[in-house]
Chain A
């Protein structure tokens, strides 16, 4: 076993340990070659293979780092991706336990659901639009298994793109009825505004993020399939949450979605 393979395994184990213990891990970036996105995805893949063996069901994908300001912050010029699991889905309006996600933050997003596979080389936005069944409003509860969110691009990719839980609204809309670039977004905590933005904040248009994901997954040999959920990326700044918070996100044309966080440990 090469040193790199060993280090990838160690990084993956460190992240699994953080999940298991509920204690965030130290950054894993120093275990990998500097800024190696490839090695970071190898860590992510190692864990997703283990989770697949355990029977966890993948229901879709998410794009992360889709805003220019976050990309600048991390010194990258491309988004990243992570996998969505059925066991991380939360019903609209439900309450989430305090220990369900490590260091939770929320962001409002457009979710797309596919009615067809996107299995062509270099998919275009037309391929994506044709494959989308409907869009839903979503709140992504991101989390980090890395202590204090002290993440580089390598840390977050290795950590399944900082996935936590995702909440979907229940008001499906057709793309023909939406302007996903200009749709306004507002997120409130118990009625107090905590974030606002618009579709443009997500790579210029949430559909651009979907194109990037579709293309990336074709290249990786695991094309997006009919029924997959795509979380396209934040429409405004993400916000830290605290016990007892109730969060609502509204996206113009798409409706609203709610989630709350338990006040006390169950």
Chain B
């Protein structure tokens, strides 16, 4: 296949995954459709699909990290995290409502969010990463693979913007807490459905922030001041159900919540 054709193909794939997200309609995995993308090409598809969102008027507000638990990496047979952009259209008002109609088969996971006060890119030390944090908050991320049955290869999920679909963020607070081992309880209608520790996020969520800077740098990008970084999930994801109040309670950081309609 010539380079020109290849470029064309990546654009076509970006349109495919973007349409699936936009219309909330599942598609077959790209790998199952006979597309064998390299990881680099998968990120290119992701880039192109996000460009389509931007052209519709969405703004990028940050990035999310995925596969930030050792168990998940081993399960997926990968050695690095994945990442995808967050846009303002994905934002769910904290304490607000979100309609299931926006999604295909959404799941929600408990996370820690960072707000940057200076740009980050490339290989940074943990100290540099921490110094770039204006605030931290408990967060809920809605992931919604655009692929049938939530099944995908590593390249599939990267091309699909790492399943990112929605997020809500609790009250921001000064980053003076030790985040390495905070208990995190996600409740549906007041009942605990997932229980974990922030330690599941690479042993310490700040490591995920340093990794975010690294992967952005490797892609030739910078996380600008004002960016939100979702550091990764502390537990398995829970399938979203209609008419449900979802709340994360995080030790020392408080709550983040929304209602599913």
Instruction: Give, as a whole number of angstroms, the nearest-CB distance from A181 to chain B.
Output: 7
Could you mark each residue 47-58 of chain A with 1 if its beta carbon is under 8 Å from any beta carbon of chain B, else 0?
000000000000
Q: Are B70 and A197 in contact, with the CB atoms below 8 A?
A: no
Q: Is B198 an interface residue (CB 8 A)?
A: yes
Q: Are B196 and A196 in contact, with the CB atoms below 8 A?
A: yes
Q: Are A250 and B183 in contact, with the CB atoms below 8 A?
A: no
Given A182-B251, A184-B181, A252-B182, A197–B197 Cβ distance below 8 Å? yes
Instruction: Give, as a whole number of angstroms, the nearest-CB distance from B37 to chain A.
Output: 31
Q: Is B90 an interface residue (CB 8 A)?
A: no
Q: Is B200 an interface residue (CB 8 A)?
A: yes
With a CB–CB cut-off of 8 A, which chain A residues contact B203? 186, 193
Q: Are B70 and A198 in contact, with the CB atoms below 8 A?
A: no
With a CB–CB cut-off of 8 A, which chain B residues contact A104? none
With a CB–CB cut-off of 8 A, which chain A residues contact B185? 181-182, 198, 200
With a CB–CB cut-off of 8 A, which chain A residues contact B195? 197-198, 200-201, 236
Q: Is A79 an interface residue (CB 8 A)?
A: no
Q: Are A179 and B251 in contact, with the CB atoms below 8 A?
A: yes
Q: Is A11 an interface residue (CB 8 A)?
A: no
Q: Are A198 and B183 in contact, with the CB atoms below 8 A?
A: yes
Give the residue of B192, B197, B249 whose beta carbon is less than 8 angstroms from that of A186.
B197
Please give me the residue from chain B that is nearest to A201 by CB atom.
Answer: B195
Q: Are A196 and B197 in contact, with the CB atoms below 8 A?
A: yes
CA gap between A191 and B195 in the complex, in Å: 22
Q: Count of chain A residues with Cβ under 8 Å from any Cβ of B?
A: 21
Q: Is A135 an interface residue (CB 8 A)?
A: no
Q: Are B183 and A193 in contact, with the CB atoms below 8 A?
A: no
Please give me the residue from chain A that is nearest to B179 by CB atom.
Answer: A184
Instruction: Give, as a whole number of angstroms, the nearest-CB distance from A237 to chain B.
Output: 10
Could you mark each residue 225-261 of chain B with 1 if its beta carbon is under 8 Å from any beta carbon of chain A, else 0?
0000000001000000000000001111000000000
With a CB–CB cut-off of 8 A, which chain B residues contact A63? none
Q: How many A-B residue pairs have CB under 8 A?
A: 73
Please give me the residue from chain B that is nearest to A253 by CB atom.
Answer: B251
Given A184-B197, A192-B70, A200–B181 Cβ distance below 8 Å? no
With a CB–CB cut-off of 8 A, which chain B residues contact A193? 69-71, 199-200, 203
Q: Are A185 and B70 in contact, with the CB atoms below 8 A?
A: no
Q: Is A183 an interface residue (CB 8 A)?
A: yes
Instruction: Give, as a whole number of angstroms, the nearest-CB distance from B109 to chain A.
Output: 14
Q: Is A204 an interface residue (CB 8 A)?
A: yes
Instruction: Give, as a whole number of angstroms, the nearest-CB distance from A99 to chain B.
Output: 30
Please give me the residue from chain B that is nearest to A67 by CB atom.
Answer: B195
Instruction: Give, as a whole number of angstroms, the nearest-CB distance from A182 to chain B.
Output: 4
Instruction: Give, as a whole number of angstroms, the nearest-CB distance from A217 to chain B.
Output: 27
Could you mark each residue 181-195 of chain B with 1 if its beta carbon is under 8 Å from any beta carbon of chain A, else 0?
111110000001001
CA gap between A196 and B184 in the complex, in Å: 10
With a CB–CB cut-off of 8 A, which chain A residues contact B183? 179, 181-185, 197-200, 252
With a CB–CB cut-off of 8 A, which chain A residues contact B252? 182
CA gap between A154 and B70 in the complex, in Å: 36
CA gap between A251 and B185 in the complex, in Å: 15
With a CB–CB cut-off of 8 A, which chain B residues contact A186? 181, 197, 199-200, 203
